[in-house]
Structure 1
Amino acid sequence: MSSLSIMLRKVRAVLLRSGVAAQDADDLVHEAFVRLESYARKQEIRSQEAFLVTTAMNLGRDQARHRARVPVDSEEFDILSLADAAPLPEEQLLSQERLRRVGTGLDRLDPQTRRCLLAKRLDGLTAVQIAEREGLSVAAVEKRVARALLFLAQWMGES
């Protein structure tokens, strides 16, 4: 057996020990060897075996990262297997009804409480910022928001 085939077997064994699938190991060894030959034409290589092992391991890591990002092989991709992510018509109607119900509940709140709640939940303002804006104490803002949330939870539970 030639020293090249022994070296290639060693590289393949290293790949297999690192967790590379057997069917992929041969391809990685081949690609590493092609890169070795290309690199050797331009540069001097001290250890062909070290170059092959390092290159094959790097190619294996690159392949694993690529598969993690793109889990579906484009050649095996079947567009018909994709599920429609859009909600069903019944779910859309229920969501619209819930939104209408929340809107009606919000309309039942006094204007300042509604502004406090929407500023907190939609605008992401802090109680301090809302208090300054509304001319209230921080405690008053927190109470208004808590009461509004309690009211809306009860209001939604009545449906």
Structure 2
Amino acid sequence: MMRIGRAATPSGGGQALVEMGARFTPALRAFFSRRAPMNDVEDLVQEVLLRIHKRQPEAVVNNVEGYLFEVAANVLIDRGRADRTRCRSAHCEFQEIHHPVDEMSPERVLQAREQMARALAALNELPERTRRVFVLVRFEEMSYKLVAQRLGVSVSAVEKHVMKALRHLNARLRDQNDADHAGQRDTRRPG
């Protein structure tokens, strides 16, 4: 049983309790390793020691071991509440595999510039009105209704111009990708 009182005893001082807590650290680690994820064990042990250090220095603890493990159980309960509140189980650790670094190699930069040049060339192949509608909708982020008002056409006409532009761009970029892949296969073949 744990008893906290006001009378001073040799093991009742705050510093003595902290030293006892440090002595029981391996037992606390074992306690937490059976009840919590391994990567939380050290944090939980530190939380127990911190709570013991913060307690009232004049209070007396007759059963230090029992008190330590009661504090440890309370730390686990508090951690569980906090985890549920913060939905901790839904979080993932920041690891390279989950969040790969996007390398901007010179080759990727060159490929992106080439793709942009192809897209602009395909866009310039469109009739003036179709190109203008597409730029206003996709790049200027104007609504179909606003573009229709600005150009004096119906919303249906704006929709048709956007679809025409998308089909043309898709076809041109797909043709170019097919040509690129065919060229890569030809350069890999043994001569």
Q: Aligned AA for 2:116?
A: L
CA pair 98-141 structure 1, distance change in 2 beyond 3 A: same
Deviation at 1:146, TM superposition (A): 0.4
Structure 1 residue aligned with 2:113: 96
TM-score w.r.t. the length of structure 2 is 0.53
Larger radius of gyration: 2
Q: Which has the higher contact order (CA 8 A, sep 6+)?
A: 2
Structure 1 residue 19 corresponds to structure 2 residue 36: yes
Name stretches of at least 5 consecutive residues in structure 1 with no aligned partner: 73-81
Q: Aligned AA for 2:103?
A: A
Deviation at 1:17, TM superposition (A): 4.5
Determine what percentage of the aligned residue pairs are the same residue.
25
Deviation at 1:148, TM superposition (A): 0.9
Structure 2 residue aligned with 1:76: none
- Partners of 2:148 and 2:158 within 8 A in 1: yes
CA distance in 1, matches of 2:52, 2:132: 68
CA pair 43-142 structure 1, distance change in 2 beyond 3 A: farther
CA distance in 1, matches of 2:37, 2:134: 55
Deviation at 1:121, TM superposition (A): 1.7
Structure 2 residue aligned with 1:142: 159
Cα deviation digits, residues 45-78 of structure 1 (max 9, x gap): 9x9555432335556878xx6x956559xxxxxx
Name stretches of at least 5 consecutive residues in structure 2 with no aligned partner: 4-19, 177-191
CA pair 50-132 structure 1, distance change in 2 beyond 3 A: farther
Backbone CA RMSD of aligned residues: 4.2
The alignment covers a number of residue pairs equal to: 140
CA distance in 1, matches of 2:146, 2:58: 66
